[in-house]
């Protein structure tokens, strides 16, 4: 997706993975394949650090760079990254600029040993922690909160008897939403924020343990999903097994709802909920809302005369496809693919002209005229942020002969920024913050527009407690 198009979407911050296997094994290629499975979570930079649990302390090898996983790592890199313990990372920046100095893992040697750290999320009090650290004489070389995390753990390790105690002491000072994996010379330590805002899961393949942001990454290396790391849990993984510390576990949780709406891969399972099933049920909820309003009915089979008739349901690739299937299933309106998606459009670092911005959406998605000509279309996407991409998509559909385009969004309107590692723009950049639904409908050129309601999340994820702050302003961490 070109840069300007990606700015009309909400982005996750990062994906993390960690592996530890028997002595003599090499985990670098498994880390590589795991990062490929997590590529959707970040496309700006990628990195891998590995070590040998039988080798000398401080023997960390790291390769990281700007770009996609396949662009950063060559075969020679993976052959050089030899070790049976390692961590990997893909990044989309929300805290800190997009540059190589902010790429992860953060690998450091210090007086008591070494560590490499990968992090997904946002540490809300990172600035205060960084100021403390700089007054202690710790120089910072990046603008990311991940470096702050590494320094905090190192600072605590100086005064504690083990890396586990250091991580525990550091965790007590953190505020925000995060999933962190720390590689020490002999073990992996993972921690998840007390509300479980950011995801983290555990898997195993024979004698190899895997920690990752999503179960899809565990499956990609032929491992079996074991369980989610609990909100607030700190897990230590060695070849001797797993130890759990629940010191920060609490009754109240607030899992990020946008993992289910958009971020996670459809084949992932998070906190007991199938991502695909959640999106399918979101589409069903949209259809049920329309049925209650008698807003839309199948064009071929009749129905109430109070609403508009629709000939087919379609989704915007790839974010709206599963919800569109759910809508079709519940409404009885046929589902159809109305776009061809060009999967070979790379990222562009050229600043486009206004004309090129308008043309970019047509490079990524092309309409199938034979499917849409003369049809009344119900189009589903996961969100509207600024509205620019949706406006161009609707123009393209109508230019190809679509009679009507009715838009349904499988999330509520974005009204508030996120502080937990999701790149929701500021309120002034959110079209819904100062425009009514009718205003937005006119701006994007849709024949009708409706959103999922916050109360419909229960249909998506059941009783799972959710963070919905970007829709209602109710932040679990103040």
Catalytic sites, residue numbers = 14
What's the angle, vertex CA 133, arms to CA 129 and CA 134, rounded to 5? 120
Q: Are 423 and 91 in contact (CB under 8 A)?
A: no
- Alpha carbons 212 and 172: distance in angstroms, whole number: 22
Strands 201-205 and 208-212: antiparallel
Q: Are 235 and 242 in contact (CB under 8 A)?
A: yes
The HSE-up count of residue 88 (CA atoms within 13 Å, CB side) is 34
Q: How many beta carbons lie within 10 A of that of residue 181, not counting itself?
A: 29
- Alpha carbons 84 and 18: distance in angstroms, whole number: 11
- Alpha carbons 23 and 275: distance in angstroms, whole number: 35
- Alpha carbons 197 and 199: distance in angstroms, whole number: 7
Listed residue (19, 458, 347, 472) closest to 209, CA to CA: 19
Give the helix, strand, coil percentages of the chain, each rounded to 5.
Answer: 35, 25, 40
Classify burial at 308, counting beta carbons within 10 Å of its beta carbon; exposed 0-12, middle 13-18, buried 19 or more.
Answer: middle
- Alpha carbons 345 and 356: distance in angstroms, whole number: 14
Measure Cα distances from 144 to 113, 116, 149, 414 in Å. Answer: 23, 15, 9, 26
- Alpha carbons 404 and 312: distance in angstroms, whole number: 11
Listed residue (154, 99, 112, 119) closest to 49, CA to CA: 119
- Alpha carbons 115 and 149: distance in angstroms, whole number: 12
SS3 (DSSP) at 270:
strand
Phi/psi for 87 (5° steps) reads: -135, 155
Q: How many beta carbons lie within 10 A of that of residue 272, not counting itself?
A: 10
**Angle subtended by helix axes 126-135 and 145-157, to nearest 10:** 50
Cα 212 versus chain centre, distance: 12
- Alpha carbons 173 and 152: distance in angstroms, whole number: 9
Listed residue (235, 108, 109) closest to 179, CA to CA: 235
């Amino acid at each position: 997706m070109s840069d300007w198009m990606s700015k009309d979407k909400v982005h996750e911050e990062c994906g993390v993975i960690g592996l530890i296997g028997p002595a003599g094994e090499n985990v670098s290629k498994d880390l590589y394949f795991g990062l490929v499975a997590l590529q959707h979570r970040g496309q700006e930079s990628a990195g891998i650090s590995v070590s040998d649990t039988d080798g000398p302390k401080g023997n960390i090898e790291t390769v990281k760079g700007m770009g996609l996983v396949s662009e950063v790592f060559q075969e020679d890199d993976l052959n050089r990254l030899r070790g049976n313990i390692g961590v990997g990372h893909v990044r989309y920046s929300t805290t800190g600029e997009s540059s190589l100095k902010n790429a992860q893992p953060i690998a450091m040697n210090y007086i008591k040993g070494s560590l490499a750290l990968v992090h997904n999320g946002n540490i809300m009090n990172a600035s205060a922690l960084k100021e403390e650290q700089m007054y202690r004489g710790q120089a910072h070389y990046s603008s990311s909160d991940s470096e702050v995390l590494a320094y905090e753990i190192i600072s605590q390790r100086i005064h504690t008897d083990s890396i586990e105690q250091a991580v525990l002491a550091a965790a007590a000072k953190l505020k925000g939403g995060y999933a962190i994996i720390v590689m020490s010379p002999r073990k992996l330590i993972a921690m998840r924020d007390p509300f479980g805002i950011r995801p983290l899961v555990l898997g195993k393949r024979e004698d190899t343990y895997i920690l990752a942001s999503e179960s899809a990454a565990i499956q990609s290396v032929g491992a079996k999903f074991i369980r989610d790391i609990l909100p607030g849990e700190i897990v230590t993984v060695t070849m001797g097994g797993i130890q759990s510390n629940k010191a920060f576990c609490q009754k109240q949780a607030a899992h990020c709802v946008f993992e289910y709406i958009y971020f996670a891969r459809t084949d992932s399972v998070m906190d007991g909920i199938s991502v695909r099933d959640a999106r399918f049920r979101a589409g069903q909820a949209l259809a049920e809302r329309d049925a209650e309003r008698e807003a839309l009915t199948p064009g071929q089979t009749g129905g109430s005369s109070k609403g508009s008739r629709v000939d087919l349901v379609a989704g915007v690739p790839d974010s709206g496809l599963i919800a569109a299937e759910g809508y079709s299933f519940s409404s009885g309106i046929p589902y159809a693919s109305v776009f061809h998606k060009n999967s070979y459009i790379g990222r562009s670092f050229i600043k486009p002209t206004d004309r090129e911005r308008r043309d970019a959406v047509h490079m990524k998605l092309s309409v199938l005229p034979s499917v849409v000509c003369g049809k009344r279309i119900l189009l589903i996407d996961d969100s509207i942020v600024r509205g620019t991409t949706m406006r161009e998509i609707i123009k393209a559909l109508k230019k190809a002969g679509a009679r009507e385009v009715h838009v349904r969004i499988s999330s509520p309107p974005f009204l508030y920024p996120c502080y937990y590692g999701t790149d929701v723009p500021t309120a002034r950049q959110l079209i819904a913050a100062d425009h009514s639904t009718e205003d937005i409908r006119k701006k994007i050129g849709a024949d009708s527009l409706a959103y999922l309601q916050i109360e419909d999340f229960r249909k998506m994820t059941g009783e799972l407690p959710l963070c919905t702050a970007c829709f209602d302003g109710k932040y679990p961490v103040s």
